[in-house]
Amino acid sequence: MNAVNHPVSPAGTLRWLLKREYWENRGGFLYAPVIAGIVSLLMSGVGIAFGLFALHRAARDGGLHIDGEDVNINGLDLGLLTRDISAHDMADLGKGLDLTLMLSSSWPFVVLAFVVFFYCLGALYDDRRDRSILFWKSLPLSDTQTVLSKVLSALIVAPLVATLAAIATMFGFMVIISIVAATHGGDAMRLIWGPASPLTLTAGLLAAIPVYALWALPTAGWLLLCSAWAKSKPFLWAVMLPLFAGIIVSTTKAMHLFDLTTGWFWQHIVGRLLLGTVPGMDLLYREGMRGANDLDSITALLSPAQQLKTLAMPDVWIGAVFGVVFIVLAIFLRKRAGEI
């Protein structure tokens, strides 16, 4: 029986290219955010341990008083602390817990900013430097598919893995503080899981992935363009060109000719080219445009509805258009690339 060769569809080819990018960059895409989350939990645990030790010692020495009463039941009794807590205080407790949860889960996102930045810088440069581009061009793979696989890896795959790591870190932190509460006379469901909003925060983080992809598109496109164009040191070209442009604009005050400030150029040109890979930058731009923040909690700020409001900002779509142009130019340069 003769074997039948079925051609691989473009979607199937792209899927295999995405797998290739993931496995070749698994250290940055997977291990880095997971390790960052673990380190966050370890440091949180150490901090809580030191805090409890200080409270135990203060209570033992008679230095801890609540409503005029000395607290000396194992050094800390959360049942006593929350016996008469009001609804308003419970709401404030929930806001504090939500902020703490976001801070504890932010480490994978800090790592993500560096991973995506340097991944895009090396994505189209490294295989030209080691001349493996000749091997990849010998395969039935189009340059468009290759570049798009790197774009999707940077803007979808890496953020998705980092978000899952951040969510796992957040729930891990909740488990830690729940154990602390339970071992000190408190009701973890009433003090931790009830006031906090982990599910809302989780939904907000997941909703932020497509927002991040659009917001980071001009930065990713610019870095990929530099990666495809630079013959050496793509980092210097990618960073110094926008910075020098900003310095020249600041020195000549050229933006005044367009009734714009120098700060506008730094924020909307330099910032969008270099800082788009930092998660949450769209929130700074959005809240800066609105002025004073009228949202009273981190949960409201990061809710899915608020996250998707970023898509109503013209800056997102204007930047996305430039990002697409940069990617098209990167594809064109990739097609012409042979060796350095």
160-188 average pLDDT score: 89
Confidence of residue 136 (pLDDT cuts 50, 70, 90): low
Please state the rounded mean pLDDT for residues 42-66. 73
In terms of Cβ atoms closer than 10 Å to its own Cβ (0-12, 13-18, 19+), residue 177 is: buried
Neighbours of 8 (CB within 10 A): 12
Give me the pLDDT at residue 68, please: 46
Cα 52 to Cα 8, 185, 196, 204: the distances in Å are 60, 14, 21, 32
b (16+ CB within 10 A) / e for 252-262: eeebeeeeeeb
Task: Return the amino acid letter for 280.
Answer: G
Q: Are 172 and 48 in contact (CB under 8 A)?
A: no
Give the tens place of pLDDT for each residue, 87-123: 777 778 888 888 899 999 999 999 999 999 999 999 8
Q: Which of 13-17, 43-47, 185-189 has the lowest mean pLDDT?
A: 185-189
Determine the pLDDT at residue 41: 94
What is the reported pLDDT for 159?
A: 97
Cβ atoms within 10 Å, residue 9: 9
160 pLDDT higher than 90: yes
Asked whether the beta carbons of 144 and 69 are under 8 A apart, the reply is no
- What is the structure's pLDDT at 62? 56
Neighbours of 24 (CB within 10 A): 12
pLDDT at res. 292: 42
For residue 47, the model assigns a pLDDT of 87
Give the tokens for residue 69. Answer: 């009463």
pLDDT for position 69: 44
DSSP codes, 26-54: HIIIIIHHHHHHHHHHHHHHHHHHHHHHH
Among 117, 109, 219, which residue's Cα sits nearest to residue 160? Answer: 109
